[in-house]
A and B are shown apart, each in its own frame.
Chain A
């Protein structure tokens, strides 16, 4: 029996021996593969605008924040000693903000779809972005408290980060404060950069300056160019304007100084081209297709109307302004270009035989028009108005005494009522944006160099996405609106997949600068736009 027990004991010992952990020779989890290099990722702090916050689809919502590029980076930093990363998370996936119970920012976009019959088969096709229905629950007066690592503030321009009062809830209705920052500012007088610096990160990213040209660009250039006006005061830059290059350089340098005061290392990210984002590349300059069922029947009347004007354009020496709508090819939109010589007086004369005393009023709307060319950019928002009746203009024309039928003919957006400034970026506006952008980017590159920080050339990388796309595991990332995977439905901000790509881009630059080996993510694991026809009621 004793012998038997010995055998049984041996058997049991063998069983215990092989029951030890099932482990890899080299384990990802134990950090065997990755190295922090010369940087310290213990505490990561990220500062910037909407791009840093995870804003997407026209709103700041939970899923967007979870897929913000700093949050994705922080997850990868965990392999090289990174700690926890706290964000001022909103309450829901609708994304609208409330101020004292009243909604002050819209919910996010989702992509609607519908089923259509093609060759006797029902095919589901995406249609247009719609605002997701529902009542949001993020009340900005419920201040977010607790430690924070993400100081991304949607809408912020460079000078906003140093503006006291930008986080004051009382200033939100007046427009002097930012509702997103007001939610988590440390006090009414706090500045974004001081709050971020107080977080005392060992590593940071700074991505600011996009809105310093983008606000001007996405509004179609309705603001001023402070490089033209010479206004350098950070407090006096105004809305929808281009920030003065020197103002940008001065403020940006102060931001870097504050973030590096404790010796932190970090990465500075430059400003991509506006032509890399679908907000400006989606609507073609010639959006009126001859087979468009609402446009096609109007062509004869439109051409008949313009025949007279075209004669006048030619007669006065501006034949390039002539407008003709083609029945065989797509026709350009008619746009208003404020750089053109205003020839309203001349046109008044030409239109008098037809309109009599009203000629001056009608001529006004054609004094500075021309057909759009390939050099003009139409905004994504113009797609909602193109070819539609401009009700304001219609009312004005009828009020002035025009017969309703004629008034209607003269009120089609982009056909007879030229697309106004906020829907177009003319070559003049584009060159103002490009020149400011070049100056900002030179500032950013120079400060990265001077401070030994990683420099991320987001501009070049996004050009790659916009021009041909970037292949990834299971697809091609492009900036095609709604389908390309990189950009969310506001046409400006990335999707989670786009943010993951951004995170990889920044990680690469960090690895190159600091000799670290932080892994990137598989961007195919991150989503593109959200299909939905709205939440069930």
Chain B
């Protein structure tokens, strides 16, 4: 901070980043098809993510799962008081996963997982009504998780994993609702960073009182992604000491990837398997997003997220020797509170409907497909904490949002 700007247009860098809504639950095709349950479901190496304690229960010595998804999301915005409307044209998100587990003995297994639990692609029309909050955001976090799993008692196994998160963000928004350069081009700020590393851990326990019933619990720790070497680019600012100068400068910001705990149960009945997970994400960690620019005024953005729960149900049916069918649904509570609803994470409570199947070409090799339809209720909400300049009152960006995401996925499972 070497200058105090009267027009502190950068008072709010909204953003987003790893924000609540964009915990993307697509860590397994098999499990996604079952409502993304899995903390107590021992199906494949995918359990490395859901509950490391389950790894040791896999029947085969070597288990490999690889898969990916296409996230097709649409958000529509409208304001029935002004007639403003907009529709996102977001690129397709492509979360993926790869898990490998190896049983060193009957009671001890190791594994390695790579997966992308956080990510977001939202592209609004440039200079749209809410462009002072976001034009475009693209963020991703890749997790690498080495894992150990140990059968401690006959009915109880434990697992623990280290999490190395590699995060990146590209975010663009306009400086305020109306500032432009002398030619009328909207003044704009982009921030960009990649390769930001954070560390965390997870641990799980799996209790199997009999061969049909499993009860699991898993905890994943908070990871703070601390961006320090990123670049902020200021564009289309007029030639005036009253506003920041054009050009690039550094910025610092911290974005929490919150802790979460999951308790789940599964029950096997003949060809059927039923699963239920209760998941709690500790989003209240995400109070503010403060961006500390090297030169321009800092940007303070209240987020005030709350802890949020998800309730997941899944069922699996062995239809034929080769074909396994799956279905499920879940209710996902949004961490975003009323008045803090910003269009970079336009997520309110949602219901996910899932379906999928696996087709085994051989005892070793199968293809897994899944489909998630994530449906958000139409919601009228606002973000009430934006300012045009440091000394202007808060303005409110209000409207009705209608969102949905269609997420097909495909993967392969190999075991020997």
Contacts and interface: CB of A to CB of B under 8 A. Distances in A.
Given A123-B4, A474-B387, A531 B178 contact: no
Interface in B58-93: 74-76, 78-85
A534 B238 CA distance: 9
Given A4-B323, A22-B404, A519 B178 contact: no
Contacts of B74: 22
A533 B78 contact: no
B74 to A, nearest CB: 4
A18 B355 CA distance: 12
A62 B392 CA distance: 27
Contact of B85 (A28, A473, A530, A536): A28
B408 interface: yes
A93 B184 contact: yes
B243 A3 contact: no
Interface stretch (A110-118, A363-371, A393-401, A412-420): A110-118
B400 interface: yes
B178 A526 contact: yes
Contact of A125 (B6, B83, B356): B6
B242 interface: yes
Contacts of B212: none
B5 interface: yes
A475 interface: yes
Residue with the greatest number of chain B CB neighbours at <10 A, chosen from A11, A125, A474, A534: A474
B406 interface: yes
Nearest to A126: B242
A124 to B, nearest CB: 4
A521 B177 CA distance: 13
A63 interface: yes
A28 B80 contact: yes
Residue with the greatest number of chain B CB neighbours at <10 A, chosen from A132, A520, A525: A525
B206 interface: no
Interface residues on A, range: 35 or more
A230 to B, nearest CB: 48
Contacts of B319: 3-4, 7
B387 A23 contact: no
Interface in B327-376: 353, 355-357, 359, 369, 371, 373
Interface in A16-34: 18-19, 22-29, 33-34
Contacts of A25: 378
Nearest to A497: B178
B298 to A, nearest CB: 15
A121 B4 contact: yes
A124 B182 contact: no
A362 to B, nearest CB: 45
Interface residues of B, number: 58
Nearest to A525: B177
Residue with the greatest number of chain A CB neighbours at <10 A, chosen from B182, B359, B402: B182
Given A24-B402, A474-B387, A8 B357 contact: yes
A37 interface: no
Contact of B129 (A113, A525, A530, A532): A525
A524 interface: yes
B403 A519 contact: no
Residue with the greatest number of chain B CB neighbours at <10 A, chosen from A26, A122, A521, A522: A522
B322 interface: yes
Contacts of B395: 473-475, 524
Contacts of B249: none
B325 interface: yes
B254 interface: no
Nearest to A33: B80
B248 interface: no
Nearest to A31: B83
A124 B392 contact: no
Contacts of B387: 474
A474 B83 contact: no
A24 B377 CA distance: 10
Contacts of A527: 178-180
B322 A4 contact: yes
Nearest to A476: B393
Contacts of B320: 3-4
A121 B3 CA distance: 8
A478 to B, nearest CB: 13
Give the interface SS of chain B, mostly helix, strand, loop or mixed.
loop
A535 interface: yes
Residue with the greatest number of chain B CB neighbours at <10 A, chosen from A93, A524, A535: A524
B393 A475 contact: yes
Contact of B357 (A7, A19, A76): A7
B396 interface: yes
Contacts of B5: 124
Contacts of B78: 24, 27-29
A29 B84 CA distance: 8
A235 B404 CA distance: 66
Residue with the greatest number of chain B CB neighbours at <10 A, chosen from A34, A79, A473: A473
A464 B340 CA distance: 32
Contacts of B359: 4
Contacts of B126: none
Nearest to B130: A525
A236 interface: no
A71 interface: no
A532 B177 contact: no
Contact of B4 (A24, A26, A122): A122
B183 interface: yes
Residue with the greatest number of chain B CB neighbours at <10 A, chosen from A93, A121, A520: A93
A206 to B, nearest CB: 25
Interface string B87-113: 000000000000000000000000000
Contacts of A524: 177-178, 388, 395
B183 A93 contact: yes
A11 B356 contact: yes
Given A7-B357, A533-B241, A474 B392 contact: yes
Given A34-B83, A475-B395, A521-B82, A132 B402 contact: no
B242 A7 contact: no
B394 interface: yes
A127 to B, nearest CB: 10
A3 B129 CA distance: 51
Interface in B194-246: 238-243
A174 interface: no
B7 interface: yes
A23 B371 contact: no
A528 interface: yes
Contact of A530 (B182, B325, B355, B403): B182
A496 B178 CA distance: 10
B182 A535 contact: yes
Contacts of A374: none
B82 A22 contact: no
Residue with the greatest number of chain A CB neighbours at <10 A, chosen from B177, B378, B388: B177
Contacts of A301: none
A532 B357 contact: no
29 contacts: A4-B359, A11-B356, A18-B353, A22-B403, A23-B402, A24-B78, A28-B78, A29-B85, A62-B184, A76-B83, A113-B240, A115-B3, A123-B6, A124-B5, A124-B7, A126-B242, A474-B177, A474-B386, A475-B392, A475-B395, A496-B178, A519-B82, A520-B82, A522-B79, A522-B81, A524-B388, A532-B238, A532-B240, A533-B240
The 8 closest A-B pairs by CB, nearest first: A474-B395, A527-B178, A531-B240, A113-B242, A28-B78, A124-B241, A18-B373, A22-B74
Given A19-B406, A29-B85, A124-B241, 5 more contacts: A3-B319, A11-B356, A124-B4, A473-B395, A525-B129
Interface of A: 3-4, 7-8, 11, 14-15, 18-19, 22-29, 33-34, 62-63, 66, 76, 79, 93, 110-115, 121-126, 132, 473-475, 496-497, 519-522, 524-528, 530-536
